[in-house]
Amino acid sequence: MLILGIDTSGPNGSIALVRFEGGESRTLETAAIEGGTFSAQLVPQILRLLQNNSLSKYHIDAFAVVSGPGSFTGLRVGLAAVKALAETLQKPIAAISLLEAIAFNLSSEVGAGSPSERVLIALDARRNEVFVGEYEIGSETPVRISESLCSREELVALSKAVRVFSPDTGVFDFLETQAANSRVAPVSRLDAAGIAKLGFRKIAAGHTVSALDLDANYIRRSDAEIKASTMLR
């Protein structure tokens, strides 16, 4: 199975082609996409990766894409490209929460069989806010409890009761300086190849979505939605 992994949720993005055979995965190629160029570069970069590996879009068996949370514009570009390709090719899609992907990476680093533990994954949401995913780790696949948006001050209170992991230096540094009793540690993000590998697990378990049903998981409402709701009051 050949999976195209895509992540356009952050300031910069990446794409990857990963082949799965006989229980093993092999990353054929990855490519970084600079922030601000997603709409212009995403499709050409996908075509370049395919051409570099003597493949065409018809060789793609499935898609794995980060569906949020993250940049409104970046997510829209990535999801639109996957929707168009998956609809044309009639291939399955694995929608990946970025918080879930980081929890999955943390679970891999901790190691399966470790004592079960409830943790928080924190991502910088700007505006003094943080995207927070509450997960239980200790098994091969983390279990999602909840995903939400909270203020940095609320995160400080939460961090005194449970360990917090963040790939963002801003969030990590804030907690270290503002929450003396907190337990905070850095964790790595998954690149697009890691997203494809997590997507393979979801697809194997039957957790897929159609191109029609694929949607972004923004967690926070857009400025336009907030403005519209304010005007209607």
pTM of the model: 0.89
d(CA 151, CA 128): 6
Question: Which residues, at least 6 apart from 140, have a Cβ–Cβ distance to it below 8 Å?
Answer: 107, 112
d(CA 49, CA 210): 24
| Tens digit of each residue's pLDDT, the chain (233 residues) | 999 999 999 989 999 999 999 989 999 999 999 988 899 999 999 999 999 999 999 999 999 999 999 999 999 999 999 999 999 999 999 999 999 999 998 888 776 566 789 999 999 999 999 999 999 998 778 899 999 999 999 999 999 889 999 999 999 899 888 866 668 888 988 899 999 999 999 999 999 999 999 999 998 764 433 333 333 34
> In 3D, which of 182, 176, 181, 200 has the Cα closest to residue 190?
200
Residue 232, amino acid = L
Domains of the chain from N-terminus onward? 2-97+190-231 (3.30.420.40), 99-186 (3.30.420.40)
Q: What is the pLDDT of residue 146?
A: 94
